[in-house]
Chains A and B, each alone.
Chain A
Amino acid sequence: MKPLSSICKSIFASAIAVSALTVSALAEYPEKPVTMIIPLGAGGSHDLNARVISSILPSYLGQPVIVKLMPGASGQTGTAAAANAAADGYTILFTHNFIDQLQQHVSKLPYDPNEDFVTVARTNYAAPSVIVKKDSEFADIDSILSYAKENPGKLRFGHSGNWGAFMVPGAMLFSKAGARPTLVPHKGGGPALQALLAGDVDVSMAFNSVIDSQAENVTPLVSVSPNTTIEGVPTTDEVGIPDVGEMGIMHRVVLAPAGVPEEALAKLRAAFAEMQEDKTYKRMLGKLGENTEFMDGEAYDAVRLKQSEEYGNLVRNLASN
């Protein structure tokens, strides 16, 4: 057994070593944990993605990542908090494109998404598909669209919440096709799926992982996606509805308040880019049924401007009818 004094000595020595390390690191970002705000509640797919990121990213960033859930007002509460946080790189926002670029067209915001944020990374995206019940009278998307066109308001489209990941692509798809269904909101994807299975609504949307697990109950008709995601299921481009695939998918994006120091932004972008190659990260996201289609911050900033325009058109189009 070691004598007490030598234990004390070794503790003391390691304390010095640690403090020396911190001193040398002082000059460089990051020198303390980074807070990642999520403008959504616990248990959603964003939360799950964030839990994976917060367990893997620290090995590339060199500091822990603290997940802070700030739900409320369709994501505006958390986004406003991030916009008001100091632009020092220690607060980042993990959001998605509908909160980021659509809310400005339907609500009065205390921030301007394109002025007040820059993109760190798009970690991945999720492409929803239009689904019907197995025993539905609709066999393909054309029959749904023609039914909806002939009977305005008769078709019931169940989605997961206003201006959310199913409502926006759904509304885009129907309005581009000139159809006008009744949009029925639900509190999340679970209740929306239940409503479809119970026959309360005629058509709904779901992500691939859910479609896989419900293979016996639902049929996917068309994927809102720029490229094929389910074998044998056409994309919106392929059935002749352009642009929806590009604009209707849900991008999971990491933003930082505008004005963040160049060096911190570069370090954050690099850490996220390196994380994409991590085996555990890939494996865990794979298990969650998510892809790892990374896009770097600068490339995605351009996408955001286009989204803003498209979503503005959609909202005006929906409001004018």
Chain B
Amino acid sequence: MLQELFEGLLLILRFDTLLMTGVGLILGILVGSLPGFTTVMAMAVLLPISFFLDPLVGIPFLVGVYKGGIYGGSIPAILVGIPGTGASVATTFDGPALAKKGKSRKALDMALYASVFGDATSSILTIFLIGPIALIAMRIGPPELAVVLALSMAIIATTASGSLAKGMVMLAIGMFLSLVGQDPIGAVNRFTFDIFAVQAGIDLLPMLIGLFAIPEILLAVESRISAAAKVNKPEGDPLSWQELKRSRRTILRSTFMGGAIGAIPGVGQVVAAFMGYAAAQKAAPDPETFGKGDLDGIAAPEAANNAVNGPTMVPLLTLGIPGDNITAILLGAFVAQGLRPGPQLFADQGPIVYALLGSMVIACLLLLVLGWIMIPVFARVVAIPRAYLVPLTLIFAVAGTYVYRSNPMDLVFLVVFGLFGYGARKLKFDVTPLVMGFILAPPLEYAIGQTLLLSQGDMFNYIVNERPVTLALLALIPVLLFFVFKNHLFAGAKGRPGAKPRARNVPTKGG
């Protein structure tokens, strides 16, 4: 294997491969940083270019777009609080707070270093553990996925939010909203009131932009532009080595959590980012600084969501099965080059497979260089006077929502969620559990529906007799929940530390 790996690396250490990877990264960062333009969309549009390139140039080019796009998404999340994807929601907890403190440069640097470390480490681990990861992927079917999703939802809902009751209310609202539209198992319309535009359901992007960006804008307007303009903070200094070293445990922890979550098909970056954030907060000596602009609050979700990337490639490369849209596009690029990922390709052309895995690591390293060059430019955004920046943010929020899939109904959702998010802030409700419920309920429902069909009406016997992994996971639930609630239980006498409203609910005046 080592020899094949070495041969593979030699195949991609070419000038044109590196150049096109770099071009892909720059395009990806630019597209990813624009709200409404998703990485998937960028890859789909640029896919035909790869048809006409050598496979070892075209595919690394797309990998570059992919990595650049994911990193680019963290830029608006940090600077203006608009998460472009579910994966960067957790980055908005501390990103804008840091920007308001005049530390946006540090936040962008931390996001870059944490992303690159998480991604590169998980890609390297994937190269060496590709066999075991493929085995795990085959063991995860609908029943196992349902248990993992339910467990993630429980952990995130109870840790990410201050008040348990408020968190649960928001979680329930989010889960309910996800039911609107066609039901995924029976294809029957639910809660659509026979309005055609609602049949497609509510999309995540208008919800994210509405809940996170619109309240920021409204609060900025509320706090009077003229006063705010005077205290406009510059981008500040770059991240120091000391600061990066202080976050090393967080980055490492998030990387391993993200990698482990990535090995379970169907869970994904969003869960990883939230889990990484929650774990970092739990482990921190000063959890109350989280959400008020803690660099660890950037490092944790960014390392975790990028660490998912390595293992998600495994089912594609070993079995030829794409697990999500991004791997589906990569599969298209492979196929158009006459390469069919799967066991056959691995056996016949091992070096090519390793070359492509290696190109993921190389893309990470190039991202480090390019990000380092581009960050100072992006960081200047915060130097735009707020009197201009706030309306500009609004334009990007609205345009981004529409451009996403050209559906006018999405604009209605944007406004409704914007007002809802504003009200929630005022009433000190954290909207994060709502988003989590909204993101996780559909796959959970789907997995449960599939399990019901697979069990053919006899769920108990099906799980006991045919699903040992599900049984093991179910047995793990009480153990994990005990660890999660341990602090809650033992700190009872001093008042629950998590019980106070989280700082990110409190609008920072004059920021």
- Of the candidates A42, A213, A284, the one whose C-beta lies within 8 Å of that of B329 is A42
CB distance from A130 to the nearest CB of B (A): 19
Q: B351 near A: Cβ within 8 Å?
A: no
B181 lies within 8 A of chain A by Cβ: yes
Q: Which listed segment binds A: B12-20, B319-327, B360-368?
A: B319-327
B186 touches A162 (CB 8 A): yes
Closest chain B residue, CB of each to CB of A164: B187
Known contacts A153-B456, A184-B454, A215-B344; is-contact A284 B51 (Cβ 8 Å): yes
Find out whether the CB atom of B142 lies under 8 angstroms from the CB atom of A200. yes
> Do A73 and B200 have beta carbons less than 8 Å apart?
yes
* Interface core residue of A44, A70, A190 (most chain B CB under 10 Å): A190
**In the complex, are the beta carbons of A73 and B340 less than 8 A apart?**
no
Within 8 A of B (CB), among A52-108: 52, 54-55, 67-74, 76-77, 80-81, 106-108
From B196, B337, B405, give the contact of A71 (CB < 8 A): B405
The 8 A CB mask of B266-310 against A (1 = contact, 0 = none) is 100000000000000000000000000000000000000000000
Which B residues lie within 8 Å of A153 (CB)? 456
Q: By the criterion CB–CB under 8 Å, are A72 and B201 in contact?
A: yes
Set of chain B residues within 8 Å of A67, measured between Cβ atoms? 44-45
Q: Taking CB as reference atom, which chain A residue is nearest B467?
A: A200
Q: In the complex, are the beta carbons of B41 and A197 less than 8 A apart?
A: no
Interface of A is mostly: mixed
Contact B200 A194 (CB under 8 A): no
Pick from B189, B194, B456: contact of A182, CB below 8 A.
B456
- Quick check: is A306 within 8 A (CB to CB) of the other chain? no
User: CA A67 – CA B46 in complex, angstroms?
Assistant: 12
- A304 at the A/B interface (Cβ < 8 Å)? no
* Contact across chains for A214 and B450 when beta carbons are under 8 A apart: no
A68 to B335, CA, bound (A): 23
- Tell me if B505 is interfacial: C-beta within 8 Å of chain A: no
Q: Separation in Å of the A151 CB from the closest CB of chain B?
A: 10
Of all chain B residues, which has the CB nearest A70? B405
The A26-44 residues at the B interface (CB cut-off 8 A) are 41-44
Residues of B within 8 A of A52 (CB): 48, 51
Interface size on B, residues (CB 8 A): 59
User: Contacts A70-B406, A76-B200 given: A193-B453 contact, CB under 8 Å?
Assistant: no
What's the Cα separation between A204 and B138 when bound, in Å?
17
How long is the Cα–Cα vector from A72 to B323 in the complex, in angstroms? 19
Interface residue? A267 (CB, 8 A): no
Q: What is the count of residue pairs linking A and B with beta-carbon distances less than 8 angstroms?
A: 159
A154 to B457, CA, bound (A): 11
A211 → chain B, closest Cβ, in Å?
Answer: 11
Q: Which of A43, A55, A185 interacts with B44 by CB under 8 Å?
A: A43
Q: Which residue of A lies closest to B333 (CB)?
A: A48
Given contacts A42-B44, A43-B326, A68-B406, contact A197 B319 (CB under 8 A): yes
A201 pairs with B454, CB closer than 8 A: yes
Interface of B is mostly: helix
B343 sits at the interface (CB 8 A): yes
Specify which of B51, B266, B337 lies most central, judged by the most chain A CB atoms within 10 Å of its CB.
B51
B36-80 contact mask (Cβ, 8 Å, vs A): 1 or 0: 000011011101100100000000000000000000000000000
In whole angstroms, how far apart are the Cα atoms of A74 and B201 in the complex?
A: 11
Q: Cβ of A174: which chain B residues have Cβ within 8 Å of it?
A: none
CB of A18 closer than 8 Å to a CB of B: no
> What 1/0 flags go to B137-179 for Cβ under 8 Å of A?
1110110000000000000000000000000000000000000
Q: Give B306 Cβ to nearest chain A Cβ, in Å.
A: 20
Docked Cα-Cα span, A212 to B169, in Å, equals: 50
Contact check, A200 vs B332: say whether CB atoms are below 8 A apart.
Answer: no
B45 contact set on A, CB distance < 8 A: 67
* Contact (Cβ within 8 A) A217 B337: no
On chain A, which size bracket covers the interface? 35 or more
Residues of B within 8 A of A213 (CB): 320, 340-342, 344-345
Kindly state the separation between the CA atoms of A289 and B331 in the bound complex, as whole angstroms.
12
A42 to B450, CA, bound (A): 24
**CB neighbours of B186 from chain A (8 A):** 162
Q: How distant is the Cα of A162 from the Cα of B189 in the complex, in angstroms?
A: 13
Chain A minimum-CB-distance residue to B336:
A287
A200–B336 CB distance below 8 A: no
**Most chain A CB inside 10 Å of its own CB: which residue of B41, B335, B337:** B335
Nearest-Cβ distance from residue B454 to partner chain A, whole angstroms = 6
CB of B407 within 8 Å of the partner chain: yes
Q: Is the Cβ of A42 less than 8 Å from the Cβ of B325?
A: yes
Contacts A190-B328, A213-B342: A55 and B199 contacting too (C-beta < 8 A)? no
Residues B335-359 near A (CB distance < 8 A): 335-338, 340-345
Q: From residue B183, how far is it (CB to closest CB) to chain A in Å?
A: 9
Chain B contacts for A289, CB-based, 8 A: 335
Does B372 lie at the interface of the complex (its beta carbon under 8 Å from any beta carbon of A)?
A: no
Contact A70 B325 (CB under 8 A): no
Q: Judge whether B321 and A190 touch: CB under 8 Å.
A: yes
Q: Which residues from chain A sit less than 8 Å from chain B, CB to CB?
A: 41-44, 47-48, 51-52, 54-55, 67-74, 76-77, 80-81, 106-110, 153-154, 156, 162-163, 182-188, 190-191, 193-195, 197-198, 200-201, 209-210, 212-217, 284, 287-289
> What would be 13 A-B contacts, judged by CB atoms less than 8 Å apart?
A51-B47, A55-B48, A71-B405, A72-B201, A72-B203, A74-B187, A77-B199, A77-B405, A106-B187, A182-B453, A188-B322, A197-B138, A209-B340
Q: Can you name 20 extra interface pairs (CB under 8 A) apart from A77-B199, A217-B343?
A: A43-B329, A48-B332, A51-B47, A55-B51, A68-B406, A70-B406, A73-B200, A74-B182, A81-B407, A106-B187, A107-B199, A182-B454, A182-B456, A184-B454, A185-B449, A186-B450, A197-B138, A198-B138, A213-B320, A213-B341
List the 7 closest pairs (A to B, CB-CB), nearest first. A72-B200, A43-B328, A213-B340, A42-B44, A162-B187, A73-B200, A73-B199
